[in-house]
Amino acid sequence: MTDRYHRSEAAFAASKARLPGGVNSPVRALGSVGGVPFFAAFGKGPWITDIDGNRYVDYILSYGPHVLGHAHPAIVAAITDAATRGTAFGAPTEAETALAERVRALVPSMERMRFVSSGTEATMSAIRVARGFTGRDLVIKFDGCYHGHADGLLVRAGSGGLTFGNPDSAGVTAGAARDTLVADYNDLGDVERLMTAHPGAVACVILEPVVGNMGLVAPVPGFLEGLRTLCDRHGALLIFDEVMTGFRVHVGGAQALYGVKPDLTCLGKVIGGGLPVGAYGGRGEIMARIAPEGPVYQAGTLSGNPISMAAGIAALDELTKPGVFDRAVASTRTITAGLEAAAHEVGLEVKAPSVGTMFTPFFGPFAQGRAPRCLREVQATDIPRFKRWFHELRDRGVNVPPSNYEAWFVSTEHDAEAIRVTLDAAKAAFAAVAS
C-alpha cells in the first residue's frame, strides 16, 4: 500500500514544516491510529477523492457539517450568488434574520440567538451569558463530552468524586479549571452530589444531549429529564451543546427527539452548510443580557457574514424538504445493521449504536452486554482492534474517523452504491482483524 498515498506523503512532509503536526486541527494528523493522512482533492455527494486519485465513501463529512454530502448544488449556488454581492459589510444584512427565523422554527427553545463563527465560540459565549445571567461562577460538564477548545472546557475529571476539574491541556490555568466541575455521563446522582456540594454556586450544566465526542453514546431514559429537574431545583441553566447533534439526530436536534427543553442551545457544523458558522441562543430574557442590550460582551468581525448565512439557509431549506432527512436516517440504519451482521459473520462482536444520522461501531467486550453509556465504558471496549480496522477500511476506500472516540456521519447522499461499497469493504476489513 506504500504507493497508494505517495503524493499525500510528500504533501504531509511539506505541511509539517509550516504547520504544527502538518494540520490545522489535531485529529486530521491520524496521531491515534498512525500512518499518513490523505490530502483531499475534491468531494461530491458521499464521495471524497484524494490527491493520489484514491476515492472513498466518506463518513467523516468534515466531522459533521455535510449532512447533504459534499458540494451540494443548492449550497454551491447559494455561496456563489452571495459572493458576487460582497462577502462582509460590518453592517447587518437581512440574511441573518432569515437564518435566525429558520433556526427558531426548527428549534423553538431558541427564541433569540446570536451567530458566531465556530462551535467553540458558541459554547464559550453561552457559558459567559449563563454566568452573567445567574451571577454564579461554576460550570458542570461531563467526562468525555467535548465543547470546543475554550480554557474552562478543556478540563477532565479530578481524582476524587467532588473535586474540581484538572486542566486537560497545557496552557490551561488551574484557575480556569477550578471553575469547572466534572460528572460522569448518564449519572444523575453525580450531578446531584455536585449541586449539593456547591449550593447556589452552579451557573449551568452543559452537555452533548447525545454524545458524539466519546464515540456515539446516547442518553439513558430519564437522564435529560432528570438534568432539567435538577437545574430547575438548583437555579442553574441547562445548556445543550447541539453543535454536533443539531439537524443531525433530528431536524430539531436532540431536544426535539427527547422532548426536553434547555435554557440555552449551542449550534455549529450543519448550521453553516459547510462554512464556519456557530450559534447560541435560548430564552429571550437570558439573551437580552448580551451586549448591546445587556452587560455580557460578545462580538465578531465576520459573525453572520452573508456568505455563511446563505450557505446555512440553503442547507436548512434543503434538509427540511419532505423525505430528505428521513432518507439519511434510513441509510444510517442500513449501514449499522450491515456492519453488525458482517462482524458477526466472522465471529466478532460489534455494536454500532446510532441516533439519527450519527453512529459509532464499537468492538466488544461490552459492560453488561450493551453499548457504552459513559467514557469509562467506551474505554473498556477493544480500541486496539478498531485502530487496525481503520487502516483496513481506509485502504479499501472507506474514510472513517481515525479514532474510536468519534462519531461517524451519514449524509442524505449515501445511496445504495455507496452503502454497498462500504459494507463490502467492511466485511473484508472485519475478516482481516478477526484474529
Ligand X SMILES: *Cc1c(COP(=O)(O)O)cnc(C)c1O
Binding residues for ligand X, rule: CB under 6 A, are: 118-120, 123, 146-148, 208, 212-213, 241, 243-244, 268, 278
> 10 Å Cβ neighbour count for 371?
19
Active site residue ranges: 146, 241, 269
Rama region for 186: left / alpha / beta (φ>0; ψ in -120 to 50; rest)? left
The residue (of 123 and 134) whose beta carbon lies closer to ligand X is 123
Do the Cβ atoms of 157 and 164 come closer than 8 Å?
Answer: no
Peptide bond into 292 cis (omega under 30): yes
Please, what is the minimum distance in Å from the beta carbon of residue 216 to ligand X? 12
The residue (of 243 and 433) whose beta carbon lies closer to ligand X is 243
Do the Cβ atoms of 289 and 262 come closer than 8 Å?
Answer: no
- Residue with cell string 462577502: 87
Please, what is the minimum distance in Å from the beta carbon of residue 207 to ligand X? 9
**How distant, in Å, are the alpha carbons of 2, 140, 232, 247, 259 from that of 225?**
51, 16, 11, 21, 9
The residue (of 9 and 184) whose beta carbon lies closer to ligand X is 184
Do the Cβ atoms of 368 and 379 come closer than 8 Å?
Answer: no
Please, what is the minimum distance in Å from the beta carbon of residue 121 to ligand X? 7
The residue (of 256 and 348) whose beta carbon lies closer to ligand X is 256
Grid coordinates in use for 215?
464515540
Please, what is the minimum distance in Å from the beta carbon of residue 244 to ligand X? 4
Grid coordinates in use for 137?
461562577
The residue (of 57 and 270) whose beta carbon lies closer to ligand X is 270
Please, what is the minimum distance in Å from the beta carbon of residue 60 to ligand X? 12
User: CA-to-CA distance for 266 and 121, rounded, in angstroms?
Assistant: 9
All residues at 6 or more sequence positions from 24 whose CB lies less than 8 Å from its CB, including other chains: none
Do the Cβ atoms of 113 and 103 come closer than 8 Å?
Answer: yes
Do the Cβ atoms of 52 and 2 come closer than 8 Å?
Answer: no
With CB atoms as reference, the residue minimizing the distance to ligand X is: 119
